[in-house]
Structure 1
Amino acid sequence: MSVEHHEPEVSRLLAPLEAADPLTLERLHNSLAVCAEQSHALDIAYRTIDSPLGTLLLAASQRGVLRVAFSREGHDAVLQHLADHISPRILLAPARLDTAARELDEYFNQRRKAFDVPLDFSLSKGFRLNVLEHLPAIPYGRTESYTKVAEAAGNPRAVRAVGTACATNPLPLLLPCHRVVRSDGTYGGYLGGTEAKRFLLSLEGAA
């Protein structure tokens, strides 16, 4: 059958959805998300949350939170990267991330100092993974130098690599790379921007 024959049929099928009110579309989407979750067809669920640092994108596999992204990274670009490198079976499905959203809200309101949600480290490997696994050991309200983190991660000379690991941390906030600073006490770079790093350290009383 030609493309010309398909197009009217597709338009006819989609017409009821186009005419549906937003509440109906939301219910249909939620039903789809539930079905995908229950049938284990949903590899990556995502949602957004409001925060003092702007809108954050949260994404999780069935193993745990996979990505936390700031608006300045471009949420669409982040989702495309996840689809390309992890799985194209990705859907807006907030329920899987309810606990992560709640814990982040508690953190920003100074009611939480450590996170308990399971994490998925699929986006990191090698020395960068060693660095990320060390970050939760840096206490709330404290900082460590890039040099000290390099030592803790098993390669005292890899100071620049620590900087790269922090700059590409797929799980900022949950893995507190904002607590890593230069040896002279200056902030150094941060995926969310210098102002975001200053805010987080001030929030924790470390600035």
Structure 2
Amino acid sequence: METNFRRLVFYLSRENRNRRRLSPAQIVALSFAFAILLGTGALLLPISYVPGRQVELLDALFTATSAICVTGLTVMDTGSDFSRFGQVVILLLIQIGGFGIITVGTFIAFFSGRRIGFRERLTLQAQINSLHVGGVVKLIKRIMFLVFGAELAGTLLLYFRFAEEEGVEEGVFYALFHSISAFNNAGFSLYSDSLA
């Protein structure tokens, strides 16, 4: 009995705290799992799907996983089964999956004025497969700038086509959705025939 108590005390002690930390690879994997579960929960909300259509748990889980992993596989029609809110959730999952969750977290931390510590830099290094820790944050800034620039350019180019078919307001959203989906190679489309 006393041995078990000593083990518990050691486990909770400060000396053991460093041993309980997750590795950068574990943080990345758990972050993806958390984002998938969060996306699944958001897609299950009644505001996420059109009236008369309900999203089942496995459909929401599959869609969220496909969006965050940018595979483009769908079991539901993104354009007709999901409401605008659900489409935005899918779009955000695609964007987060394309960037990488840790990269997005770093981006948010950077713009909120928080310093990026060495441990966070190690996690970033693991996610983007960098050989060096130095310059990782600067690299992330460049990546963000280039990605947003390319997606904006794609949105502008696609807008003219979609504005003719869908109208001005819908054209903006369709252009943005398809630009982000295409840039991240996600394969999601708001058209049932996938732009065919």
Higher relative contact order (CA 8 A, sep 6+): 2
TM-score normalised over the length of structure 2: 0.26
**Which structure features the higher share of strand residues?**
1
Higher helix share: 2
